[in-house]
Amino acid sequence: MNIPASPRFLMCPPDFFKIEYEINPWMNKDVQNDRANSIAQWKSLHSLLKQLGSEIEEISPVAGLPDLVFTANAALVYENRAFISRFRHSARQGEEPVFTEWFEKHDWNVIRLPEDMSFEGAGDALFCGDTLFAGYIFRSEVQALNWIAEQIDKRVIPLQLTNEQFYHLDTCFCPLNNESAIYYPAAFDSYAQAALQAQIPNLIEVEPAEAGRFACNAVVIDKQVILNTGCPKLEERLRAIGYQTHATPLDEFLKAGGSAKCLTLRLNA
Ligand code: ARG
């Protein structure tokens, strides 16, 4: 019998999570996160994923790297390969050696992109079926996305992002299965919208208010969807097509421009 492996995720406890700089429109140094509440929200997400049958690997937090909690940006993982991010902003570049070391220690085949290409991992590169959907402009560059697609011999669909509030692809697009995804159309240019419509048969549109609650930044485990609170319409639509939804408060992380999906990196398919 073929027993499917449990989903595995990489997470980083928020011990040093703070708003220390401003590199996206959500971040404002005058609006700091509450430390105790950040830890409580992170722990609730962690235990929810465990309850749903996941295994969680933890990377140790590092003082001075407040955004290390957003492990979706560590790398793009494909089979046993980890394509380590090259962050656009110097504020996050100190995370690269930390993530590199973790992947090396855990026996991944670690791959560094050419130096002149910025790329922010699973934040901007998501598989839907066998195709790699890749967001660019704010953080990742199209050359980097093409370079990776060539290395793994996959088709890539580059999607130009247009709204700085939705600066990573995973803030406005979330594959559910091979033919379905959630998305926020206004975050994409018209070519990207047309490409998504042409490639993905079932697209669920998120409305602006819920997109602003990072509805698209959801973690999907089979028929389970884990997302921030405040997205009741999307939850209702998902339930109507057979998904179970699990809302968990993540407002502290929204202050840095992240939510459920950004706080996790799926390590197996
Ligand atoms: N403050 C972080 C940044 O601006 C948030 C990253 C959110 N991650 C994500 N995968 N969308 O880089």
For residue 69, the CA-to-ligand 1 centroid distance in Å is 9
Residue 165, in any domain of the structure: yes
- Would you call 114 helix, strand, or coil by DSSP? coil
User: Rounded to whole angstroms, how far apart are CA atoms 20 and 127?
Assistant: 32
Per the prediction, the chain carries an average pLDDT of: 97
Q: What is the pLDDT of residue 269?
A: 86
Quick check: 25 pLDDT over 90? yes
Q: What is the dihedral angle through the alpha carbons of 166, 55, 82, 185, rounded to the nearest 10 degrees?
A: -20
Q: CA neighbours within 13 Å on the CB side: how many for 85?
A: 29
Amino acid in position 92: R
Q: What is the pLDDT of residue 7?
A: 97
Q: CA neighbours within 13 Å on the CB side: how many for 19?
A: 21
For residue 70, the CA-to-ligand 1 centroid distance in Å is 6
DSSP for residue 178:
T
Q: CA neighbours within 13 Å on the CB side: how many for 140?
A: 35
State the average pLDDT over residues 72-96: 98
User: Rounded to whole angstroms, how far apart are CA atoms 134 and 140?
Assistant: 9
Residue 2, in any domain of the structure: no
Number of domains in the chain: 1
Q: Which of 199, 146, 175, 180 lies closest to 261 in space, CA to CA?
A: 175
Q: Which of 128, 168, 172, 246 is catalytic?
A: 168
Q: What is the pLDDT of residue 44?
A: 98
**Active site includes 262?**
yes
- Would you call 64 helix, strand, or coil by DSSP? coil
Q: What is the pLDDT of residue 5?
A: 83
Residue 1, in any domain of the structure: no
Longest CA–CA separation in the chain, Å: 55
For residue 60, the CA-to-ligand 1 centroid distance in Å is 18
For residue 173, the CA-to-ligand 1 centroid distance in Å is 14
Residue 99 sits in a domain whose CATH number is 3.75.10.10
Q: What is the pLDDT of residue 2?
A: 63
Residue 3, in any domain of the structure: no
Residue 141, in any domain of the structure: yes
For residue 114, how far is the Cα from the chain centroid?
22
Q: Which of 58, 53, 65 lies closest to 91 in space, CA to CA?
A: 65
> What are the beta bridge partners of residue 204?
182
| pLDDT, tens digit (0-9, with 9 covering 90-100), for 115-160 | 999 999 999 999 999 999 999 999 999 999 999 999 999 999 999 9
Complex ipTM above 0.95?
yes
User: Rounded to whole angstroms, how far apart are CA atoms 82 and 8?
Assistant: 15
Residue-number span of the structural domain to which 238 is assigned: 8-266
Residue 95, in any domain of the structure: yes
Ligand 1 first shell, C-beta below 6 A:
23-24, 27, 67, 70, 72-73, 92, 123, 168, 170-171, 256-258, 262
Sheet order of strands, 244-247 included = 219-221, 224-227, 244-247
* Ligand 1 atom 8: residue of nearest CA: 262
State the average pLDDT over residues 250-257: 98
Q: Which of 179, 193, 85 lies closest to 129 in space, CA to CA?
A: 179
Q: What is the pLDDT of residue 194?
A: 98
CB 77 within 8 A of CB 108: yes
User: Rounded to whole angstroms, how far apart are CA atoms 176 and 238?
Assistant: 10
Q: What is the pLDDT of residue 230?
A: 98
> What are the beta bridge partners of residue 177?
180
User: Rounded to whole angstroms, how far apart are CA atoms 16 and 206?
Assistant: 32
Given ligand 1 and candidates 68, 93, 262, which is best to mutate, with the most ligand atoms within 8 Å of its CB? 262
Residue 133, in any domain of the structure: yes
CB 172 within 8 A of CB 138: no
Residue 187, in any domain of the structure: yes
